[in-house]
């Protein structure tokens, strides 16, 4: 079977939806007083959608876009949580100036015709 360079229309649509959701989430967090330090931080362990700072807090944020806010909330799986935790450790190693900050793992849920929902401490690293 020949390999093609183009992604499927579903993958392209999902990618665009993700970018749009991350942009909405970042704008929402900025309005709440956060400063975005990184977007789509990639590591060998996984990706962190947003890294944000507010005073002495660093928040590692997973953005989920689904048809409803409830669907989005259930989309952050334990396996994903572990990947984000591992990626956060890599981010901290690359940014040792933030090592003494308080750390938190949040989620921002995005759904059509709804305001974003920011879940503080959506999960933790004590597994």
Q: Which residues pair with 57 in a beta bridge?
A: 54, 102
Q: Are 84 and 41 in contact (CB under 8 A)?
A: no
Contacting residues for 71 by C-beta, under 8 A, at least 6 apart: 111
State the CATH class of domain 9-123.
alpha beta
Q: Are 75 and 123 in contact (CB under 8 A)?
A: no
Segments making up each domain of the chain, as ranges: 9-123
> What average pLDDT does this structure show over 19-26?
90
Q: Are 51 and 36 in contact (CB under 8 A)?
A: yes
Is the pLDDT score of 127 beyond 60? no
Neighbours of 28 (CB within 10 A): 17
Q: Which residues pair with 51 in a beta bridge?
A: 38, 60
Per-residue pLDDT tens over the stretch 58-117: 999 999 999 999 999 999 899 999 999 999 999 999 999 998 999 999 999 999 999 999
Which tokens in the block code for residue 125?
């690293």
The count of C-alpha atoms lying within 13 angstroms of the C-alpha of 97, restricted to the half-sphere facing its C-beta, is: 2
Which tokens in the block code for residue 108?
């921002």
Neighbours of 94 (CB within 10 A): 11
Mean per-residue pLDDT of the chain: 89
């Amino acid at each position: 079977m020949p390999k093609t360079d183009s992604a499927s229309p579903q993958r392209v649509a999902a990618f665009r939806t993700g970018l749009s959701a991350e942009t909405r989430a970042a704008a929402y967090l900025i309005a709440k007083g956060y400063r975005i330090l990184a977007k789509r931080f990639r590591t060998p362990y996984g990706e962190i959608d947003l890294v944000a700072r507010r005073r002495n807090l660093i928040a590692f944020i997973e953005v989920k876009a689904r048809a409803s806010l409830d669907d989005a909330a259930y989309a952050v799986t334990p396996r994903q949580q572990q990947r984000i935790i591992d990626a956060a450790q890599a981010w901290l190693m690359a940014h040792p100036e933030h090592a003494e900050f308080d750390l938190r793992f949040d989620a921002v849920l995005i759904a059509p015709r709804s305001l974003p929902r920011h879940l503080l401490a959506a999960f933790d690293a004590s597994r």
